[in-house]
Structure 1
Amino acid sequence: MSPYGRHTYRYTPFLASLLSFSHHRWAFPDMMLSSSRYFGRVLFCLADVFCGYIVVRLRRHQRRLRRGGGENDEVRTAPSFSSPDLIHALWWMYNPLPINICTRGSAESLVVLLPVLASVAFALGGCDIDDDAERTTTTTTTTTMTTTGKEEDEDGKSSSYPILARACLSGIFHGIGMHAKIYPVIYTVSFMAYFSRQGERTMMPTRTTKATTTTTFPWRHPTRIARLAIAWVRRLFFTPCSIAFLLVSMGTAGTLTYLAVRNYGREALDEGLLYHLRRVDHRHNYSMYWYWIYLARGRAESTSSAAPVWSRLAGLVPLVPQVLILGFSSLGIAPYDLTFALFCQTFAFVAFNKVITAQYFVWYLCLLPLCSSRVIWHTRRMHVSLAVLIFTIVTWLLSAFTLEMLGWRSHRMVWMASLLFFVANVNLLLSIMDGYVGPSSRRWGVDDRAAKKKKVKAS
């Protein structure tokens, strides 16, 4: 039976097959059949918890890298409730929005967030080995430089293979995410740029690698970003790691989509993937475009004819700023800080999208703890931006309540609230980028510029 017999089903058919597992008597005895209807929600909640585990693991991995790769400054003690890693992970674990999304039966944490976080984890190397094994390896293995510039250990094995393996593993999970819901495709260039830089760093001599890692983050210099973007475009498709990631991710997504179409027909492609490209929905939509969609749909129903060409082309206009932002962050930020680039891309993608529902917010909330330690939050501008965002959300909810619950003709009021919500999101994104201190920051909440001033005074 095809799951697309239900008109509102817009997911991959493999999700329906997984959830139907609870209806098999050999899997659930008769005494458990009465509670098997909660199988899906329990599965989504477990996926949500596992997302939090990946967040904590990646936070610890990033802290080890900032402190020199796990030397004596990394104290192996029981996690404290005041640990920045735990505090930032609580932004996701105890956030009421993700909890509400998974407990109400939404599969976002399973079909989207897990593949995204897993691909990030393998890209950053946060799921390689445990801490003890890593500490033993780093203390007993020495590296030498070959004539070709590759790093090799004492056994002569090239260290570029782990990076290539991480690229392939990350590509597998990235392909699963693209098949489950098409929006993770916006991360492809960012992952390729990141793996391209990581692959080139292993091929460089030691002095070049050190110079690259100590370079300040250049996003505040547009001309330098333009030069870097041109350079990354030239070498993006000539690095083995980036090519491997692209081929594996596209191959995984293509294989899963082919199997879905073969078993469930063309509906698996139209409803599971392509629908999200052409989706226009004015109900429960936070987007500033919802009123235009509402008027366009009403005009189309009244004329009983197909939409004109100019109307269909106008629907592509919202994609223009998204493409510009994705290109800027993919080539100007991702090679230096992958998680911050993914967060900015997702935040901007949601803010500029034609359709915004509550579950879209969890797309970037799961990435926020991975880069929050490199953003200064305790500033006047940041506090004002967050307050304005909260105010616009409350305004939108009150306006929508008068429209849907009270039956008032408050369409324009809801539209104005959507415009304010869009402006607040853009302002918050600019505040976050302005408070960003770069991937080389050693301590949470400390600006690199302030640290440099202290060094100058001390000298």
Structure 2
Amino acid sequence: MSEPQTETKQSPNPPAYLSTSTLLWFSLLVRFLFLLYSFYQDTYLPVKYTDIDYLVFTDASRYVSQSFTPYLRETYRYTPLLSWLLLPNVTWFESWGKILFVIFDLITGWVIIKILRLMKVKEAQAVRLSSIWLLNPMVITISTRGSSESVLTVFVISFIFHLIQGDHIGAGVLAGVAVHLKIYPVIYIPTCLLFLVDYTKPCELVCNPLKLINSKTLKFGLGAAASFLTLSSAMYYIYGWEFVEHTYLYHLTRTDHRHNFSIYNMSLYFTSSLSSTNSFEAAQSSYPIVNHLLSTDLSKLAFVPQLALSSVVIPLVYTKRSLSHTLFLQTLIFVSYNKVMTSQYFIWFLIFLPMILSRSSLITTMRAKGIAMLLFWILGQAAWLSQGYNLEFLGQACYYPGLISASVAFFASNIYVAMGIIDSVDGLSSNDGL
């Protein structure tokens, strides 16, 4: 008697709406509609849709088109490369930059999908997770308003992709470009080096730092140094010290206190305002203790916990357990402890969210905690925005307890999210490094 034949069951193909091409085309359509709406709001409504920074970029490009330095435009604090990229704003179409930012935005999402595939995430799940970026209203709004963050995110996520893929030179080159564009990605360099080193406990590297040197780390380091130094040297040759001052040094000493979610916001505000008042000068001569308290800028201490945690502690402890969780954590901590924090900065850690959720218990066994983290973060942000609106649009003096309390609450929500991510790292069933 012949044995019955058994059919091999194949996993069904995901439905069309969960395909990568469908998601990318739909994401493009949504962004196109946002751009169309931006023209309407900018034309007919008193509150403009376009970000003020986009006007700064365009003015800087106009100076470049006339063979001047882009830094003639006050508040232009970026690499001259950005003003070069946006030259068509002046010579062709004023919304060219927005289109470019949308393209980079979409490429970022596409690379996220490629990384998820490298992490062996199923196609349908990869599409769902990448939609956290591609269909995120915050991400879409930021790029279509004319913020340049997507230019940076595409280089950051691309060098992570090449790092995971094993292209160490390519990863280094892209990392160097990212640091040239904006200095904060330098915090990822220690993480990348640790990812390429064989060790089991952080104390091994502390006791023997030479373990950091191998062919992989040398290729990555040389690639990063080559691209960063080449671009920065070229910009310095053309524009001199003002390039270094405005692109890098300014961000180490900036004291913006408007639209600033940071816990140091009020310290920056009072320091900048009190130092120029007659009452402060009187306090200087009559009350030395009061003078000392008022003149102390607590934000100067921000770099200590910020860099210690984001550049040293978190990479050392978590890189070998999960690269994606480490990148998210160090970025979240860097942003949370930064003395200036605007909504654009949230994009910096959102690019890693699909990666960590692909392996996280926060969407499975710890789903309730994941929802609580999301709600706490949204409510903390909403509390600050309500106070910020009262201050900047209605002119209400709500510094204390309103704005200070809201800043503390939002900082606490960020730390709560970080703690939840740490718990999810501890709960990983396997440590494959990704």
Aligned partners of 1:255, 1:308: CA distance in 2, in Å? 44
- Which residue of 205, 211, 215 maps to 1:235? 211
The Cα of 1:313 is off from its aligned counterpart by 7.8
2:259 alignment counterpart: 284
Task: Say which SS state the counterpart of residue 275 (structure 2) adopts.
Answer: helix
- Which residue of 55, 71, 79 maps to 1:12? 79
Aligned partners of 1:88, 1:57: CA distance in 2, in Å? 12
Deviations 1:428-454 (A, max 9, x none): 110121123337379xxxxxxxxxxxx
2:27 alignment counterpart: none
2:226 alignment counterpart: 251
- Which residue of 104, 118, 139 maps to 2:145? 104
1:113 alignment counterpart: 153
Contact persistence 1:55–1:369 (CA under 8 A): yes
Task: Say which SS state the counterpart of residue 301 (structure 1) adopts.
Answer: coil
Contact persistence 1:232–1:331 (CA under 8 A): no
Aligned partners of 1:302, 1:22: CA distance in 2, in Å? 42
Contact persistence 2:322–2:431 (CA under 8 A): no
Task: Say which SS state the counterpart of residue 155 (structure 2) adopts.
Answer: helix
Task: Say which SS state the counterpart of residue 37 (structure 1) adopts.
Answer: coil
Q: How is 1:66-85 mapped onto 2 (pairs within 5 angstroms)?
A: 79=123, 83-85=124-126
Q: How is 1:125-140 mapped onto 2 (pairs within 5 angstroms)?
A: 125=165
Contact persistence 2:113–2:127 (CA under 8 A): yes
2:420 alignment counterpart: 431
Contact persistence 1:11–1:180 (CA under 8 A): yes
Alignment identity in percent? 30
The Cα of 1:84 is off from its aligned counterpart by 1.4
1:274 alignment counterpart: 249
Aligned partners of 1:106, 1:19: CA distance in 2, in Å? 12
Question: Quick one: structure 1 residues 191 and 411, their matched pair in 2 at CA, closer, same or farther if it must change by over 3 Å?
Answer: same
1:187 alignment counterpart: 188
Aligned partners of 2:209, 2:296: CA distance in 1, in Å? 31
Aligned partners of 1:319, 1:230: CA distance in 2, in Å? 22
Letter of the 1:233 counterpart: P
Aligned partners of 1:239, 1:192: CA distance in 2, in Å? 10
The Cα of 1:18 is off from its aligned counterpart by 1.5
1:134 alignment counterpart: none
2:399 alignment counterpart: 411
Q: Could you tell me the TM-score, scaled by structure 1's length?
A: 0.71
2:320 alignment counterpart: 335
Deviations 1:159-207 (A, max 9, x none): xxxx4xx11111100000101000000111111111223xx8xxxxxxx
Higher relative contact order (CA 8 A, sep 6+): 1
Letter of the 1:98 counterpart: V
Letter of the 2:99 counterpart: V
Aligned partners of 2:168, 2:231: CA distance in 1, in Å? 19
- Which moved further from structure 2: 322-331 or 170-179? 322-331
1:158 alignment counterpart: none
C-alpha RMSD of matched pairs (Å): 2.6
Question: Quick one: structure 1 residues 337 and 302, their matched pair in 2 at CA, closer, same or farther if it must change by over 3 Å?
Answer: same
Q: How is 1:16-415 mapped onto 2 (pairs within 5 angstroms)?
A: 16-21=83-88, 23-24=90-91, 33=92, 36-63=93-120, 79=123, 83-110=124-151, 112-125=152-165, 163=166, 166-197=167-198, 225-230=201-206, 233-236=209-212, 238-302=213-277, 314-326=298-310, 327-378=312-363, 379=366, 380-412=368-400, 413-415=402-404
Contact persistence 2:196–2:217 (CA under 8 A): yes
Aligned partners of 2:189, 2:429: CA distance in 1, in Å? 21
Contact persistence 1:92–1:98 (CA under 8 A): yes
Aligned partners of 1:335, 1:3: CA distance in 2, in Å? 42
| Structure 1 unaligned residues grouped into runs of 5+ | 25-32, 65-73, 126-162, 201-211, 213-224, 443-459
Aligned partners of 2:99, 2:403: CA distance in 1, in Å? 35
The Cα of 1:311 is off from its aligned counterpart by 5.8
Letter of the 2:430 counterpart: S
Task: Say which SS state the counterpart of residue 285 (structure 1) adopts.
Answer: coil
Letter of the 2:347 counterpart: V
Aligned partners of 2:75, 2:162: CA distance in 1, in Å? 34
Aligned partners of 1:233, 1:323: CA distance in 2, in Å? 19
The Cα of 1:226 is off from its aligned counterpart by 4.7
The Cα of 1:246 is off from its aligned counterpart by 1.8
Letter of the 2:245 counterpart: D
Question: Quick one: structure 1 residues 290 and 22, their matched pair in 2 at CA, closer, same or farther if it must change by over 3 Å?
Answer: closer
Contact persistence 1:120–1:339 (CA under 8 A): no
1:445 alignment counterpart: none
Contact persistence 2:113–2:130 (CA under 8 A): yes
Aligned partners of 1:289, 1:319: CA distance in 2, in Å? 12
